[in-house]
Amino acid sequence: MKEAKPRVYFATKNRGKFLEAARVADSFKISLKHLKFEKQEIQAWNLTEIASHAAFQAAKVTNKNVVAEDAGFFVRALNGFPGPYSSYVFKTLGLEGILRLMRNVGNREAYFQAAVAYCKPSHRPVCFTGIVKGRVARHKRGTQGFGYDPIFIPSGGDERTFAEMGTDEKNLNSHRAKAFARFCRWFLGRSHGVSSETS
Ligand code: ITT
Domain that holds residue 157: 7-191
Measured CA angle at 190 (ends 188, 196), to 5 deg: 100
Q: What is the pLDDT of residues 152-183, one digit of tens each?
A: 999 999 999 999 999 999 999 999 999 999 99
* Pocket (CB within 6 angstroms of ligand 1): 12-14, 17, 39, 69-73, 86-87, 90, 112, 145-149, 162, 174, 176
Q: Could you tell me if 173 and 157 are in contact, meaning their C-beta atoms sit under 8 angstroms apart?
A: yes
**Residue-averaged pLDDT of the chain:** 93
Domain count, the chain: 1
Q: Distance between the two ends of the chain, CA-based, in angstroms?
A: 39
Q: What is the pLDDT of residues 140-156, one digit of tens each?
A: 999 999 999 999 999 99
Q: What is the pLDDT of residues 77-117, one digit of tens each?
A: 999 999 999 999 999 999 999 999 999 999 999 999 999 99
User: For residues 58 and 65, what is the distance between their CA atoms, to the nearest angstrom?
Assistant: 9
User: For residues 109 and 166, what is the distance between their CA atoms, to the nearest angstrom?
Assistant: 23
Among 24, 87, 151, which is best to mutate for testing ligand 1, by the most ligand atoms less than 8 A from CB?
Answer: 87
Q: Would you say residue 28 lies in a domain?
A: yes
CATH of the domain at 162: 3.90.950.10
Q: Would you say residue 87 lies in a domain?
A: yes
Phi/psi at 131 (nearest 5 deg)?
Answer: -130, 145
> Can you point out the beta strands (E) in the chain?
7-11, 31-35, 66-75, 82-83, 109-119, 126-136, 152-154
Q: Would you say residue 77 lies in a domain?
A: yes
**Which position among 70, 149, 158, 168 bears the catalytic label?**
70
For position 198, what pLDDT does the model report? 43
For position 2, what pLDDT does the model report? 65
Q: Would you say residue 197 lies in a domain?
A: no
Query: Ligand 1 atom closest to Cα of 20?
Result: 27
Element housing 176 (H / E):
helix 175-189
- Where does residue 138 fall: left (phi above 0), alpha (psi -120 to 50 degrees), or beta otherwise? alpha
Residue 70: active-site member: yes
